Amino acid sequence: MIDRRSFLATGLGAAWAATGCQSADSLAHIAGGFTGVHVERGHWLRDGLQSGRPWPAPAKIFKTRVVIAGGGVAGLAAARALRLRGMQDFALLELEDSAGGNSRSAEIAGIACPQGAHYLPLPGDDAPEVQDLLEEMGLRKRVSGRWQYDERHLCHSPQERLFFNGEWQDGLLPVHGVAASTLAQYQKFAVLVEQARGAARWTLPVQNRPPALVQSALAAITFIAYLDQQGLDDPHLRWYLDYSCRDDYGAGIATVSAWAGIHYFASRHGFHAPGTDLVEREGLLTWPEGNAWLTRRMAAPLGERLHTGRVVLRITSAKHGVEVDAFNTATQSTERWLAERAVVALPIFVAARVVHNPPDFLRQAARQVVYAPWLVANIHIAQALHDRPGPAPSWDNVLYHDDGDGAGQGLGYVDATHQNLQAVAGPTVLTHYRALGDVAGAAIGVAVGAAGRKLLLERPWSAWRNQIVRELSQAHPDLSSKATRMDITRYGHAMAIPVPQTNGQIGLWPSSNKYLPLSKSERLSVRPRLTWERLGFAHGDWAGYSVFEEAFTAGHWAG
């Protein structure tokens, strides 16, 4: 392993050091700012609730059969389900100026780029609702009795690479120059994953299947505790597992449960150690704008039923219907929506605040859920970057080292124009991701996620710009001279972190709702619905971790 001193002695290290020593003024040509999320809207709701002041009286009253509160993936899925049932009389209320939640996008210099989620693994048969959506959108069809995906939407090769020991290598598992003991631990972990797959069913989504005893046991401890128990202490293996958990859950192996750590591999493609039989990489769908490609198409048929810029203030379930009060940010007035029922597709911590006299299971879930803050930076570069030795530029590009100042570890970047298959590399947008679920602070008694949120809100945009450029310059010394703009999107409560639960619970669904008293055959065709009085609840949070498959399935069945 190359150390810091040796690294600085190289030409690459000198270039990186020069970038690191640059003042804010020397990067002033990189324009940009915070964008994509109206932080003040959520805080206006929070501050109003904490102050106890009454909300403005409703200026207008609307009537509809169903109100959907929240326009993320779950809310859009609920709206789609209503339309499929022939229900057209509904309204969807969304906080931001566009629907999509964490799956929205932007454009910089005419180049589309994601502001959040950027890919979707090909769904298995445990996610028939997602499969149906992809078929509806023309992404997959039956050819000669077999399902075939439209290759234009599959991630093109090369798919991923890792900057390790001063050069790029294929894949994200560190392999070049590692010791035999490291390879042995890779193989041992691969065996453990296969044993877990043989001992229990690992599915996406998880909410309608009772956990096996082995899964509950893993859900009660941290992933790092499990690795300690198994004698898996190799730093390269731990780095990769930590990266994987931060990538999917927003926090690393010391924070997430062992169930989550194993689930990442066991529910999808397994873990393949170097030297084992070659296994074709898991297919995934991606677009220049990320998963906004999906959410925009889900939102398009809603037309005037989609009401953006609405801050939901209160949801009341009464004997004869529901009342939903929302603040219209365009007119600066309160609206009241009267409906037969409502779908609460809001994050759990928001739902617990706005539902009037919330049920005990909602209060309890709000106390349990832990959120990861995230930062997404879209960096426009005017011309192709100089590349270090190794595989060609890929869709997903990850750096092994993080020389940040404690502000979380970067997850590398994806290239927004990779899917274009352009013959000559040119201007593009690099989308850099940063998980802040377990930054410095949690270890000294600060709640998980709180330190990251504080940092996210208080650190100036220019400081983030400087740190991100410095970090990525380890692999691309010319980044600072070729970057023209950096737009940063901040998510204070981006996703639920699957932290350990002492009782081994997986997800946040109350046991009284989660597994309905159905026969085995009925369970195959009927999914659980989380309901209370005239309210149905749907959000990725309820699964305990936030991925498209969980949010979409919950929203579909709530609708």
pTM of the model: 0.90
Query: Checking DSSP bridges between strand 409-415 and strand 66-69, what pairing results, if any?
Result: unpaired
Distance CA 281, CA 296 (A): 28
What burial class does residue 62 get, using C-beta atoms within 10 Å of its C-beta: 0-12 exposed, 13-18 middle, 19+ buried?
middle
Per-residue pLDDT of the chain (559 residues; tens, 9 = 90+): 333 333 333 333 444 344 444 555 688 899 999 998 888 887 777 776 666 677 788 999 999 999 999 999 999 999 999 999 999 999 999 999 999 999 999 999 999 999 999 999 999 889 999 999 999 999 999 888 788 999 999 999 889 999 999 899 999 999 998 999 999 999 999 999 999 999 999 998 986 567 899 999 999 999 999 999 999 999 999 999 999 999 999 999 999 999 999 999 999 888 988 876 545 556 899 999 999 999 999 999 999 999 999 999 999 998 889 999 999 999 999 999 999 999 999 999 999 999 999 999 999 999 999 999 999 999 999 999 988 778 889 999 999 975 444 455 789 999 999 988 776 678 999 999 999 988 865 444 457 778 888 999 999 999 999 999 999 999 999 999 999 999 999 999 999 999 999 899 999 988 654 444 333 443 444 556 789 999 999 999 999 999 999 999 999 999 8
Distance CA 178, CA 172 (A): 14
